[in-house]
Amino acid sequence: MANVAVIGAQWGDEGKGKVVDWLASRADIVVRFQGGHNAGHTLVVGNQTYKLSLLPSGLVRGKLGIIGNGVVIDPKALLEEIARVRAQGLAVDPGNLRIAENAPLILPVHAALDRARENARGARRIGTTGRGIGPAYEDKVARRAIRVCDLAEPDTLDAKLDELLMHHNALLAGLGAEPFEKAALLAELLALAPQILPFAEPVWQRLDEARRTGRRILFEGAQAVMLDVDHGTYPFVTSSNTVAATAAAGSGIGPSAVGFVLGIAKAYATRVGAGPFPTELHDETGMLLGDRGKEFGTVTGRRRRCGWFDAALVRQAVKVGGIQGLALTKLDVLDGLAELRIGVGYRIGGEIFRHLPAAPGAQAAAEPVYETMEGWCESTRGARSWGELPAQAIKYIRRIEELIETPVTLLSTSPERDDTILMRDPFED
């Protein structure tokens, strides 16, 4: 039986939380392998709504959750999230949550630098969450990051803070922001240490044991392929690799163990923040999609930009992300629309492309090339079998499969757990 990696196939916010939660019933372990608390997954369970940013979604199913080394962790944000879900009745303790000891930490100085940079960019801002994710990843690559394991060594913390603040305080001063005092930051980290360290371990050992004994592992990605730092709409991207290949490096397991790669996409398209969005709608239909889909970011609270499904972009995500099957969410949002459009390519300077080029100028100039399809009047909301879907909705799904060159293997028809149609169980591959 295969392990499964779940990644977003658009610009994030595709409904990964519900799909991971649903798949977690078949898994033994759920692993977050990249990103930080800039990601948000909303899970609706009966009359409870859980909003998760760092915690693996499988915890809601009572499964072991692991935060891998590819995640950057704000310790205060993590503890606040644990306290919040505990208040909702969810058990979170070192018995069901483990954290990679080599995961980098996000410090207050990272968030301050993130916000100062965005302010300095003015109209050219990227649209980050201002939570310090980018600067924390920079420190990791520059080999000055403070990691979870360092919390157990006060002398190591002391020395590392000297190097880290020498770099960041100079940047903050150049941006007109206040510098940070080492003593206060050191005291804060030492106070957090006894709350974080009980969760820490070399998680690669646990995952190796799980692999060898045949336990099912579900790898949970954050953001999406088109926000990947290498393959996305750079520079309007996140600061980590979001493709399925990162599941191995970001959790400490060999690439052959990742298993089936399931991509998640909405039946239309959304994006939060700045950056190119060729199929974006600025009309009443775009507003309708946003209202029906309740399109507000879990983390940012910002209204998401909405548009037609971009098959050329999702096809690109399928290829670079290693996606073997697609979970299509929010089909019900399209109910009642007389006409639907699917983006099949881009017109750039008189030339037609079937992919979005890497150059920012070309991305900004890309105009969508559409196919038009008839919509459906019947409701798809709550459908739990293929036979309950309107014929025209099935045609729409089949055309998407043809255009993205991969099968739709799972369909979500509402935020509720059980309103799901499974055509192919990824754990059985």
Residue 135's domain is classified under what CATH number?
1.10.300.10
List the catalytic residue out of 21, 37, 41, 228. 41
Q: Are residues 178 and 165 in the same domain?
A: yes
Judge whether 231 counts as a catalytic residue: no
Of the three residues 176, 196, 216, the one that is the final residue of a domain is 196
Of the three residues 157, 181, 196, the one that is the final residue of a domain is 196
Q: Are residues 157 and 210 in the same domain?
A: no
Cβ-contact 229, 239 below 8 angstroms: yes
Whose CA is closest to 94, among 198, 223, 190, 215? 198
Q: Are residues 74 and 133 in the same domain?
A: no
CA distance 394 to 375: 11
Q: Which residues pair with 115 in a beta bridge?
A: none
Condensed to tens digits (0 to 9), the pLDDT of residues 82-137 reads: 999 999 999 999 999 999 999 999 999 999 888 888 887 877 777 677 788 999 99
Of the three residues 161, 181, 196, the one that is the final residue of a domain is 196
List the catalytic residue out of 13, 150, 310, 419. 13
**Which SS3 state, helix, strand or coil, does residue 223 take?**
coil
Segments forming the whole domain that contains residue 45: 4-99+200-260
The DSSP annotation for 86-129 comes to HHTT---STTTEEEETTPBBP-HHHHHHHHHHHHHHGGG-----
Condensed to tens digits (0 to 9), the pLDDT of residues 14-54 reads: 988 788 888 888 899 999 999 998 777 777 777 788 888 89
Q: How many structural domains comprise the chain?
A: 3
Would you state the structure tokens that stand for residue 225, as one six-digit string? 């392929």
CA distance 216 to 65: 12
Condensed to tens digits (0 to 9), the pLDDT of residues 173-209 reads: 898 888 999 999 999 999 999 999 999 999 999 999 9
Judge whether 41 counts as a catalytic residue: yes
For the chain, give the longest Cα–Cα distance. 67
